[in-house]
Amino acid sequence: KQEVTQIPAALSVPEGENLVLNCSFTDSAIYNLQWFRQDPGKGLTSLLLIQSSQREQTSGRLNASLDKSSGRSTLYIAASQPGDSATYLCAVSRGAAGGTSYGKLTFGQGTILTVHP
């Protein structure tokens, strides 16, 4: 059974710092890995999706890397801002016929990030 672990569980940093969030998974036979952001009382917003054949994806100040063989992914946030404060979740999926996961994701428990001014 796939298990996803996120470290640290919580992180508090001053504004402007670069930071790294970690995600590890036990079964390397994944189809893709996604990073999500969740604000308090809200739904999840997809940040980055990395296919199993890719090594990294970038969007603005966010960069996610994937090392499938070691079962690890990192989310790098550059020049953090108070608006980045949220819970960050990673999720992995197994592939299915048709080249999709059908939305069947296994989530980690999340990292609660606080960026203080």
Partner 1 sequence: NAGVTQTPKFQVLKTGQSMTLQCAQDMNHEYMSWYRQDPGMGLRLIHYSVGAGITDQGEVPNGYNVSRSTTEDFPLRLLSAAPSQTSVYFCASSGRLAGLRPSDEQYFGPGTRLTVT
For residue 17, the minimal CB distance to partner 1 (Å) is: 26
Q: How far is the CB of 2 from partner 1 (least distance, A)?
A: 10
Q: What DSSP assignment string belongs to 3-50?
A: -EEEE-SEEEEETT--EEEEEEES----SEEEEEEE-TTS-EEEEEEE
Distance of alpha carbon 32 from alpha carbon 95, whole angstroms: 8
104 touches partner 1 by CB under 8 A? yes
3-class DSSP assignment, residue 1 = coil
Amino acid identity of residue 83, one-letter, is G
27 binds partner 1 (CB under 8 A): no
Angstrom distance (rounded) from CA 111 to CA 48: 16
Six-digit token string for 51 = 């296919």
CB of 42 to partner 1, least distance (A): 6
Nearer to partner 1, 92 or 115 (CB): 92
Which of 110, 111, 113, 115 binds partner 1 (CB under 8 A)? It is 110
Q: Which of 43, 60, 83, 117 binds partner 1 (CB under 8 A)?
A: 43
* Binding positions for partner 1, rule: CB under 8 A: 4, 31-32, 34, 36, 41-46, 49, 89, 91, 93, 98-110
